Structure 1
Amino acid sequence: MANLRFALVCGGVLACGAACAAGQNTPSDVPPVIDVHVHAMDESFPGGGPMCPNEAKFLASDPKTKEAPFGWDVENCTPKLYPSAKGEYLKDMKAEMERLNVTAVVFGDEAGVKKWQDAMPGRVIPGTSFTAGMGTGRVPLDKLRQEFTSGGFKVMGEIGLQYEGLSPSDMSVDQYFALAEELDIPVAIHMGTGGSGRANITTPKFRGSAGNPLLLEDLLARHPKLRVQVMHAGYPMIDNMLTLLQANSHVYVDVAGLIWSYPLSEVNRYIQRLVDAGFEDRVMFGTDQMEWPKLMAYSISIIQNADYLTPEQKRDILYNNAARFLRLDQKAK
């Protein structure tokens, strides 16, 4: 089914039809999409390669052997998602985002995000954070203030405290969230899944427990006007995620990473729980877009082909909820 979905989205599910493949469509023909979780990469990961999305399982490993950095089962699928050729990723992403009519929140350092803005004007909402990489230090508060007051940045993220084993409510980082509340900047916090099935091997400071969505409660109590995007929807802690959403109406989730990293039935079950529980207006589309240009189209197809979502719910997830969260001056689509 995953392969069928990918074929459909490339062949026309996104209202492209045959003209899409012929390059005859313009973005105005395609309903707009907001991807709230993209990384400002311009090259593939070292050693990266083809990937089958929605792989069936994570494998155990033996510490006496040479353990792979990724725990996904190695599968065959058609088509696989392939990285761009060297030096071509940004060009490929520009073409995909134009074809799919995507505007993206792009996270990274100032130079990396600016490169994306220059490559695709009008399609990039810039985001940056105080975590300068996964546990590699803190951006000075004054520098971050400058980036959001005069540097053009609009979202504070990706905040990867879980990779440091830290709760988002830890007082050592509270000054940054206070700044976001003061400047009315939404924050995007990594919570839930991580480590690609090998966190114990590749990211030893990562703690699954630090991704518990309920750890946000003290932070939200201190900063009641803070708008929070829980990245990865706190997967797999659905009950705690629903508890947080019920108690805090300023909290939204994105389905990035989750949408392609786990078996498709599990992905759909998790998103359906969020919607069936009454939070359809706070689920936002995201990819966690990295080195595979076709990942964005594939991820959109998961939402487009979800038989448990109404057409209105699909448009809300793909566009309207994010437009509201980000306070974009755009009417519902």
Structure 2
Amino acid sequence: MRIIQTSVAIVALAWAGSAAAQNTTATVPPVIDVHMHAMEDVPIAVPFCPNQTRFEASDPKDGPEAPFGWSKEECSPKLYPAPKGQYRSMVLAEMERLNVRGVVFGDVADVQKWQAAAPGRIIPGTAFDKVEGSDPARQLKMLEVAFTQQGFKVMGEIGLQYEGISPSDMRVDQYFALAEKLDIPVAIHMGTGGSGRANVAMPGYRGSMGNPLLLEDLLARHPKLRVQVMHAGYPMIDNMLTLLQANSHVYVDIAGLIWSYPRKEVNRYIERLVDAGFGDRVMYGTDQLVWPGLMAYSIGIIQNADYLSPEQKRDILYNNAARFLRLDKGK
């Protein structure tokens, strides 16, 4: 289960090199990334070492506090941001090279730009905006048009946790009712957030609102609703397993988690999900933003996981998401 930085990098490079060497995606096993964002240029675009080993404490007396708590460790290779204006084209090139289809979340207009650039690769997703100060009727209409007329397939990313709101709060129930009515899966942020500094950068965020069991009342009201728990409810593994055991329409994605926490912890969390019997409901994702190389890197983590069988790796990288999204089945 112990996986060192260099071995993950080697596997990621081998995966990418295999696709490039064959000069076709036809013989490269398909991958579905269920958690991407329609980003362009991002202010936080700096070189980054994934899976850093610790989060550092901060002291408000020391002056302005950094919005991220990762330690500034060195690694090889680093993940580098795309040059200005090239992020979308570079990510789409990676998706083509690695034979990836991705669920891309964002505003309708932003997602449509991605879809227009690579219609065969992009599965469009959008969601309602913040609860406070919003116009529910307008948002509900926007969603209905997106899902019935504009071809959108997933309602997400739903970021209620950043407002300190439970997913079972009745103020947002009408959106979930629409998703159930239209048979649209929903993707809800639950768990990890703030990168060790939510108190500095995201004062509305509440870790307690990431408790997977907060979904129970919502699921009871909408028994046909398909739910993607983003970030797999990390780190609340026991409650996540309880919810999965009780609700067969719930899946998890490992996006964000897969690169933003120590690798040993990431693998231990995924292994718990699989060992508990839920290997058919774990879906690969990146939370793709800023770094085009993140996709190959994170695919390498799954490919190099010695606690997963080849069949389990294919389930996580493709088959589970294809089933959840009702796409064609992979091999």
The answer to whether the superposition gives a TM-score over 0.5 is: yes
Structure 2 match to 1:56: 53
Structure 1 match to 2:38: 40
How many residue pairs match? The answer is 325
Structure 2 match to 1:277: 276
Where 2:209 maps in the other structure, the secondary structure is helix
Structure 1: how far apart are the matches of 2:225 and 2:297?
32
Q: Residue 324 of structure 1 aligns to which amino acid in structure 2?
A: R
Note the alpha carbon deviations across 1:209-231, whole angstroms, 9 max, x for none.
Answer: 00000000000000000000000
Q: Residue 46 of structure 2 aligns to which amino acid in structure 1?
A: G
CA contact (8 A) 2:15 2:296 kept: no
Q: Residue 82 of structure 1 aligns to which amino acid in structure 2?
A: Y
Structure 1 match to 2:312: 313
Structure 2: how far apart are the matches of 1:7 and 1:309?
18
Pairwise CA distance, 1:160: 0.1
Q: 2:77 aligns with which of 79, 85, 104?
A: 79
Where 1:177 maps in the other structure, the secondary structure is helix
Q: How does 1:86-105 map to 2 (within 5 A)?
A: 86-105=84-103
Structure 2 match to 1:265: 264
What runs of 5+ residues in structure 2 fail to find an aligned partner? Answer: none
What runs of 5+ residues in structure 1 fail to find an aligned partner? Answer: none
Pairwise CA distance, 1:331: 2.5
Q: Residue 3 of structure 1 aligns to which amino acid in structure 2?
A: T
Among the aligned pairs, what percent are the same residue? Answer: 72
Where 1:302 maps in the other structure, the secondary structure is helix
Structure 2 match to 1:129: 127
Pairwise CA distance, 1:237: 0.1
Structure 1 match to 2:9: 6
Distance 1:135 1:290, change over 3 A: farther
Pairwise CA distance, 1:135: 6.6
Pairwise CA distance, 1:140: 1.7
Q: How does 1:225-244 map to 2 (within 5 A)?
A: 225-244=224-243
Where 2:274 maps in the other structure, the secondary structure is helix
Pairwise CA distance, 1:48: 2.3
Structure 2 match to 1:108: 106
In the alignment, does 2:325 pair up with 1:326? yes
Where 2:318 maps in the other structure, the secondary structure is helix
CA contact (8 A) 1:135 1:161 kept: no
Pairwise CA distance, 1:188: 0.1
Structure 2 match to 1:117: 115
Distance 1:47 1:135, change over 3 A: farther
TM-score by length of 2: 0.95
Q: CA RMSD in A?
A: 1.4
Q: Residue 226 of structure 2 aligns to which amino acid in structure 1?
A: R
Pairwise CA distance, 1:136: 7.2
Distance 1:135 1:257, change over 3 A: farther
- Runs (4+) of structure 1 exceeding 6 A deviation are none
Pairwise CA distance, 1:3: 3.2
Distance 1:135 1:54, change over 3 A: farther
Q: Residue 26 of structure 2 aligns to which amino acid in structure 1?
A: S
Where 1:236 maps in the other structure, the secondary structure is coil
CA contact (8 A) 2:212 2:243 kept: yes
CA contact (8 A) 1:135 1:160 kept: no
Note the alpha carbon deviations across 1:189-212, whole angstroms, 9 max, x for none.
Answer: 000010111100111010000000
Structure 2: how far apart are the matches of 1:136 and 1:263?
37
In the alignment, does 2:73 pair up with 1:70? no
Structure 2: how far apart are the matches of 1:297 and 1:115?
23
